[in-house]
Structures are given as C-alpha cells and as structure tokens.
Amino acid sequence: MRGAPTRLRVRVEGGGTPRPNRWGSDSEYGLLRDVLVGPLDNFGWQAGANAVIERTRRLGLAYDAAVARRQYEEMIDAYAQAGVTVHTLPAEDGLPYQLFARDSSVMTPWGAVVMQLQKPYRRGEYAACLRFYLENDIPIFDMITAGNIEGGDFMVLKPGVAICGYSGERSCEAAVRQLKGWFEAEGWELYAYPFDPHFLHLDVQLGMVAEDLAAVCVEAVEPNLVEWLRSKGIRVIDVSYGAAMNLGTNVVSLGAERVLIPASNKSLSAACRAEGLTVFDPDVSMIAAGGGAIHCMCQPLRRDPIG
C-alpha cells in the first residue's frame, strides 16, 4: 500500500478531470485487470431486505454458511482463472451485506465515486470502501451528497455512455441527477432510468455481457430502455422474468470475449456461447438467494480503456 492522497476528491468543477494512469473503467467490457470483492465473513440473509429474500423465505429455504463459502471461493477462483487480480474489502462487524461491494462505490473513468446506501444496516459500508481507496492511492472522483444511491443501479456501458436507474428507494432521483451532472460536465451521456422498486437494482434487469451486447429482462423493463440501448448500438439477449428474479442478468464481463454468469442461468450461458463468448459459470445460488449475485459482489477497479 502507498500513502493516502492529499485530496478526498479529484473531480474538476465544470469538467476536464484527468484520468488516472492506472485505475478506472470506461466500459463494462474492457479487459478486467483488478476487481474489488466484498467479504463473506458477516453475510447472512436479512429478513425484509428485498423481494428476492422474501421469496426465499416463502419457499422455506435455509442459509448454509458452508455452502456459501464454497460458492464464494468458486467465484474467486473463476476470476483467478481469468487472470484478474482480486482485492477484498476488510470485513467489519455490523455490516451483514458488505459482501455486495457493488453498492458502496462505483468506478468511473476518472476514479471512484463513493455512494450513499439506503438501508440503515448498510450505511456504514461507505467507510470501509473509502479507507480502501485512500490506503491504495486510488483516486476518488467524488462522493455523493444529494441523497441515497447504490452502485447496483449504475453502469458505464461504453465510452461516453453510462446509465443509472432509480426507484425512489435504493437510489433516489436527486442523487442520480447529481451523478448525471458530473458525467455531463465531462462530456458523457448518463441516462437516468426510473423503474419499479420491486426489482431492487438495475442489475436485476440489465447486465452487459460483452461489447455492445446486453442481457435484458425485456418483460420487466420499459420499452424506452430497450429502444435507448439499441440507439447506442447495443444488442439485447432477452432474459425471462423468472431468470431475472433469480439474478440471471447479474453478470460480469471479463473482457476479451469472456463473461461470468451465475450457473443457474443456463439459457443465458447458452446464448452467450452461441455468440462465441467463453463463459465462466460459478454456482452462487446460496448467496443469490439473499438478494445478490456475481455483479453485486464486485466493483471493477481497473479495466483496459476502450475510448
């Protein structure tokens, strides 16, 4: 580790923020070099956390920590096989959903943005990710102050184009507008997409699997979102509602025509293989039953730049 940066943010008012030499991401599909993963140590299914866990409880399923640990290690091994360097957030007491490192921060082309989480038992997660960035000298683009917003709603789709969803619960419009303003100042488009809170986060409905190729639950999203994606040259693989509610769009592109997909979504894996992609498909079902899967558990720290 290196010493902490002298500033808590590097964002230049009005735009023109320089890009870091090492860290950052300008797409969801550039070759993934470094990834930040949340710790499993304190994870457990939280009653009332989201629609997925409520369905899990109705089905009478029980959490098995040993199974979750095996599945977590299988996912970490998949990153290792793909040549990705894995960084893990230090576990902190009182943070049962710290595993889902996607939400407490997001990576942009100009450095990290520290988010604000909505649930009381998640709000403290910002501290661990903030310390991680400072201790590793990773630039912090800025920190959200306008309200709660979570990283599962945000994606840098391709150079010049980002999206952030909001339901008024996990992410609120005011915070999304703040983030949108920062991106627009840098000459980027950020599409603010409202959706029903039943779906928790945008990554339950949408996930990029490769360059200009997205997995989308067409049944769940508004038609204007599909039209907007297509206007950006992004093709769509339709994912069923049932698969989406089992976190079937919760995927991570590894770059170089490779993708991580939950083992449960066999139809998406088959569709991606038909597109010529190499699929890594770890089983994360025990974790996913608590409301988050592969995309939720990670935050890209460094992808090869595209634009």
* pLDDT tens string 118-140: 999 999 999 999 999 999 999 99
- pTM (2 decimals)? 0.94
C-beta of residue 140 within 8 angstroms of C-beta of residue 112: yes
- pLDDT reading at 221 higher than 70: yes
Which of 1-10, 61-70, 99-108, 225-234 has the least mean pLDDT? Answer: 1-10
pLDDT at 291: 86
Full strand arrangement of the beta sheet holding 154-158: 154-158, 161-166, 189-194
Domains of the chain, first to last: 32-303 (3.75.10.10)
- pLDDT reading at 203 higher than 80: yes
Q: If we measure between CA atoms, which residue out of 257, 245, 263 comes closest to residue 71? A: 263
C-beta of residue 293 within 8 angstroms of C-beta of residue 250: yes
Which residue has tokens 């008012």?
13
pLDDT at 139: 96
Q: Using CA atoms, how far apart are residues 170 and 1, in angstroms rounded to an integer? A: 33
